[in-house]
Amino acid sequence: MKKIELEIVALSHSITQTHSYAVVLGEVNGLRRLPIVIGGFEAQAIAVALERMQPSRPLTHDLMKNFMMAFSVELHEVIICDLQEGIFYSKLLCSNENDTVEIDSRTSDALALAVRFGCPIYTYENILENAGILMEDTGTKKKKAVVSSTNEESPAHDDLKNLSVEELNTLLNDVLEQEDYIRAIAIRDEINSRRKK
């Protein structure tokens, strides 16, 4: 399968949902976005690395990088390789002087390590097709947003069920403009569940 390269374009959280975060991956030279819900600790670990902050003590992902470097293990790439029941699965492609191995990883941990090592992040077409969101081409260069937030209440899941597909698509475009990726995930999932019926 052909790999599609992604880059982190946003890390967002909702003030009304304090434990919900989304890391948004953008297709390199493309318009598709892949939002992935992650935990608060992992969001912090990614934000610290993106902002090149130096904590006084190493975070878990910093420790992992230091450990790998001490034993001459290189991280070459991260592959988001599977999606099952809304859960993303990833692998780390690592090597030392003798061997190359793939190591299973939670996607949030894999992304935190990818930022630290500066290695590429990939996925496959079927994952982008099933879980990605297509952005409109506005002709402007895409900007990177590290952390964005929203004060607006997320629509309840039941409220989304009462909207037509056309209304859901309109709402999806509106929340994407506001970079509220948590709401976008819920709306995208509702649209996808109706397509399967």
The reply to whether 167 falls in a domain is no
CATH number at residue 115: 3.10.690.10
Domain that holds residue 95: 3-152
Question: What is the Cα 179 distance to its own chain's centre?
Answer: 13
Domains of the chain: total = 1
Q: pLDDT for 22-65, tens place per residue? A: 899 999 999 999 999 898 888 888 988 888 887 778 889 999 99
The reply to whether 194 falls in a domain is no
The reply to whether 134 falls in a domain is yes
The reply to whether 157 falls in a domain is no
The reply to whether 172 falls in a domain is no
Q: pLDDT for 91-111, tens place per residue? A: 999 999 999 999 999 999 999
CB hemisphere CA count around 122 (13 angstroms): 15
The reply to whether 161 falls in a domain is no
> Model-level pTM greater than 0.95?
no
The reply to whether 184 falls in a domain is no
The reply to whether 171 falls in a domain is no
